[in-house]
Amino acid sequence: MNYKLTIIVPVYNEEENLERVEKELSSYLKIATVPTAVLFVNDGSKDKSQTMIEAICNRNDAFDFVLFKENRGLSAAIKAGFDYADTELVGYIDSDLQTSPEDFNILLEHIDQNELVTGVRADRKDSFVKNMSSKIANGIRRAFTKDGMDDTGCPLKIIKTDYAKRIPMFRGLHRFLPAMIMLQNGRVTQVPVRHFPRIAGTAKFGVWNRLLGPLMDCFAYLWMKKKYINYDVAKTSK
């Protein structure tokens, strides 16, 4: 089948969520507005996640996986998804399913006019501490990047793949995807999406890496922005 969108699903010790992930993504594929495939990226899970992922892929033709030898972090998992995707578009959703795959259809309505469309979690169902730390982190990042995005931590995005593959990823850069698309002179926009409480599993980020981590990453982004190489080819004989 000629798929147009690949949904990347990073996984790290999510055995309690994977049955629901299979159910909800399988349901979404039936109503997706473009032909869609799913790519699990197992970030070196220590639980039964890989066994479950392989069973899911064996049952579903549209599902594939990449398994890391060891845990490398969320940014590495997203980069691997970009590297292995061979569709025109790539999407991204967390395996905790605090956002709904159905809302990819909302993002797809805007992708023709943009190179990246990101969700903004409306009425977030997280703790006060988590919400406040994310709000502060987003404010710090916005001050550094000037990207105008309110919620880059929202785990629901769609990007044109040729732009995604050109992003020079480093650890923590998943928070800067809109800014990195803008460095390529790409257009970005944000649209509200639904948000739900985490039902199973545990969050992988605490207050420390929601605040101090993003602050340190902002300096890495500024260095990269200064050194970033961008060009447009006018003509070639190749």
pLDDT digits (tens, 9 = 90+) for 122-135: 765 555 456 556 66
Phi first, then psi, for residue 91 (nearest 5°) are -120, 170
The candidate with the shortest Cα–Cα distance to 71, out of 10, 156, 19, 16, is 10
Q: How do residues 21-32 score in pLDDT, each as one tens digit?
A: 999 999 999 999
Distance CA 24, CA 219 (A): 38
Least confident among 9-13, 55-59, 94-98, 130-134 = 130-134
Please check the confidence at residue 213 and state whether its pLDDT lies above 80: no
Q: Which of 75-89, 172-186, 194-208, 215-229 has the lowest mean pLDDT?
A: 194-208
Residue range 158-178: mean pLDDT, rounded: 87
- As a whole number of angstroms, the distance between CA 156 and CA 8 comes to 10
Q: How confident is the model at residue 228 (pLDDT cuts 50, 70, 90)?
A: confident
pLDDT over 80 (residue 189): yes
Strand order in the sheet with 156-160: 63-67, 36-42, 5-11, 89-93, 156-160, 116-121, 188-193
Q: Can you state the percent helix, strand and coil of the chain, rounding each to 5?
A: 40, 15, 40
Q: What local confidence, expressed as pLDDT, does residue 130 receive?
A: 60
3-class secondary structure per residue, 117-184 = EEEEECCCCCCHHHHHHHHHHHHHHHHHHCCCCCCCCCCEEEEEHHHHCCCCCCCCHHHHHHHHHHHC
Please state which of the four CATH numbers 3.30.420.40, 3.40.50.10190, 3.40.50.720, 3.90.550.10 is assigned to the domain occupying 5-227: 3.90.550.10
Q: What is the per-residue pLDDT for 113?
A: 97
The predicted structure's pLDDT at residue 129: 52
Listed in sequence order, the residues at least 6 apart from 166 whose beta carbon sits closer than 8 Å to its beta carbon are 184
pLDDT value of residue 122: 76
- Cα angle 98, 100, 184 (rounded to 5 degrees) comes to 95
Instruction: Provide φ and ψ at 178, rounded to 5°.
Output: -60, -40
Q: Residue 204: is its pLDDT beyond 80?
A: no
Predicted confidence band of residue 48 (pLDDT cuts 50, 70, 90)? very high
Q: How far apart are CA 44 and CA 11, in angstroms?
A: 8
Domain limits, the chain: 5-227
Q: Which of 103-112, 127-136, 227-236 has the lowest mean pLDDT?
A: 127-136
Structure tokens at 227: 């050194």
